[in-house]
Amino acid sequence: MTTSALGVFRSLRTFNYRVWATGAFVSNVGTWVQRTAQDWLVFTELTHHNASAMGLVMALQFGPQLLFLPWTGFTADHFNQRKLLVTTQATMGALALMLGVLTVSGLVRLWQVYIFAFMFGSAAAFDAPVRQTFVAELVGDDDLHNAVALNSTSFNVGRMIGPAVSGLIIASIGTGWAFLINGASFIAVLTSLALLRVAELHPNARARHARGNFIEGLRYVWGRGDLKAILVMLFLIGTFGLNFPIFISTMAVTVFHANARGYGLLSSIMAIGTVGGALLTAGQVRPRFRMLPFGAAVFGVGCALAAIAPTYWTFGGALVIIGIATLIFISTTNSLVQLSTNPAMRGRMMALRVGITLGGTPVGAPIVGWVANDFGPRWALGVGAASGLAAATVAIVAIVTERSR
């Protein structure tokens, strides 16, 4: 292996990270199998191509990230992270199995999907900041940026494989089996957590128990211009841009008249771009703020190209561009927030980051779904393009302001 390749994959030299990454990858594939199946279930089986219903499911699934924000960050900063991950991952696995049983038995109804989306989102709200800060316990700060990028690579390789597998499962044995397979995939990550060498972990500093911890986190952000700019950018793109289930399903079904396999393939094509973006990020020694306006601007341009794509395959090509830009932007914000934050504040900062990124979905997804229903999916992608260009503007203003001081 070349020196360059060793640099890209250097976190894999750590035993605990190798074990964690293996289990997480299996679970990531299962997660994307379920996400694709859930979108297909709502959009084609429980409704007649209703993008607004999909927007409501997304709102319920990601709304808890904002709703429980005062408690998710507190939990990540105060309690044993490995034990918390066991709890959250087991909960999400059980919910996937229950939804699978309902769907396979033919008893599933749209209102039940709404409830499961909210419960799954609630568990994920507590899981996300812990899972993201736990990386520092696996590798330490020196390799944190690399490990974050490799986690993104794993997640998006799963995104490349999972939707295509899900399309095959839906077409051959039914949507419900995709949920059951995802439920079973959580066994892998739970096993990896059990196999970690606890003595070799690098425990993050635990925050002291005190009232007003969440307010303390907000004050910390208010005093940091770079963090404020990052969070505004994440809100813009997270609220109006990261609505890929709506973008891809409406374009695939209503514009290009694709079946389940064709829909799954488009999600996998986008993942090719995200994997490329993750590997580019992993090769960097340290994250740089100046990558944010670049990533946001390319995201906006990619959405604009997707909006005017004349064919299925040109749309897929635009999705690759969107995937690269999304990963560069998201992974860089993740590393910047963690590495520039006091270790005792990381859980709260990551909860705030995830909460703002995904917590805007209850606002953005219904709006984007309404635009897709009433004006067409190409106009919905236009909303995504505007969010990327607006976020790039915020980053440029922040850079100019900092240089003028």
> Buried b / exposed e across 379-395, counting CB within 10 Å, b at 16+?
ebbbbbbbbbbbbbbbb
How far, in Å, are 75, 77, 88, 136 from residue 209 at the CA level? 11, 10, 22, 21
Helix (H) or strand (E) holding 115: helix 110-139
Determine the Cα–Cα distance for residues 56 and 213; give it in Å rounded to an integer. Answer: 32
Decide: helix, strand or coil at residue 345.
helix
pLDDT band for position 337 (50/70/90)? confident
Fold of the 10-198+213-404 domain: Growth Hormone; Chain: A; (1.20.1250)
Look up residue 352 and give its amino acid: L
Contact 103, 167 (CB under 8 A): no
Asked if 301 and 388 touch (Cβ cutoff 8 Å), the reply is: yes
Closest CA to 37 of 155, 159, 157, 167: 167
- In whole angstroms, what is the distance from residue 137 CA to residue 123 CA? 21
**Does pLDDT of 325 surpass 70?**
yes
Distance from C-alpha of 160 to C-alpha of 8, rounded to nearest angstrom: 20
* Helix H or strand E segment including 130: helix 110-139
Cα–Cα–Cα angle for 317, 58, 173, rounded to 5 degrees: 70
Helix residue ranges, H only, 140-243: 144-172, 175-195, 213-222, 225-240
Task: State which amino acid sits at residue 108.
Answer: V
Assess contact for 252 and 258: CB atoms under 8 A. Answer: yes
Q: Are 217 and 348 in contact (CB under 8 A)?
A: yes
Q: Are 368 and 231 in contact (CB under 8 A)?
A: no
Q: What is the pLDDT confidence band of residue 1, given thresholds at 50, 70 and 90? A: very low
Do the Cβ atoms of 175 and 37 come closer than 8 Å? yes
Q: Tokens 């039914």 belong to which residue?
A: 174
pLDDT at 284: 67
Please provide the average confidence, as pLDDT, over all residues in the chain: 85
- Place 132 in a pLDDT band, splitting at 50, 70 and 90: confident
Residue 116: the pLDDT is 96
The whole-number average pLDDT for the span 162-183 is: 91
d(CA 237, CA 385): 9
> Does position 313 have pLDDT exceeding 90, yes or no?
yes
- Please report the pLDDT score of residue 4 as a whole number: 47
pLDDT of residue 69: 77
Higher pLDDT, 369 or 99: 99
How sure is the predictor about 358, in pLDDT bands with cuts at 50, 70 and 90?
A: confident
Residues 163 and 169: their CA atoms lie apart, in Å, by: 10
Provide the pLDDT for residue 3. 39
Query: What is the mean pLDDT of the segment spanning 93-100?
Result: 96
Alpha helices in 259-376 (DSSP H): 260-282, 291-307, 312-339, 346-359, 361-374
Whether the per-residue pLDDT at 338 is higher than 60: the answer is yes
Highest mean pLDDT among 21-35, 77-91, 220-234, 297-311: 297-311
Q: What is the pLDDT of residue 95?
A: 97
Domain ranges of the chain: 10-198+213-404
How far apart CA 352 and CA 45 sit, in angstroms, is: 35
Separation of alpha carbons 264 and 226, rounded Å: 37
What residue type is 131 in one-letter code?
R
Question: Exposure of 335 by Cβ count < 10 A (0-12 exposed, 13-18 middle, 19+ buried)?
Answer: buried
How far apart (Å, rounded) are the C-alpha atoms in residues 347 and 132? 9
Nearest to 166 by CA among 247, 271, 318: 271
The string of pLDDT tens digits covering residues 35-77 is 889 989 998 889 988 888 888 998 898 888 878 877 887 787 7
* Per-residue pLDDT at 75: 81
Tens-place pLDDT, residues 224-242: 778 888 889 999 998 899 8
Averaged pLDDT, 319-333: 89
State the DSSP H helix or E strand holding residue 139, giving kind and residue range, or none if neither: helix 110-139
Q: What value, to the nearest 5°, has the Cα angle with vertex 187 and ends 185 and 193?
A: 125
Average pLDDT over residues 297-301: 96
Query: Band of the pLDDT at 298, cuts 50, 70, 90?
Result: very high
| Residue among 294, 33, 263 nearest 162 (CA) | 33
Structure-block tokens of residue 127: 């899981």
For the chain, give the number of residues.
405
pLDDT in tens, 146-156: 887 788 778 77
Whole-angstrom distance, CA of residue 95 vs CA of residue 90: 9
**Are the beta carbons of 36 and 267 closer than 8 angstroms?**
yes
User: How confident is the model over 300-313, as a mean pLDDT?
Assistant: 96
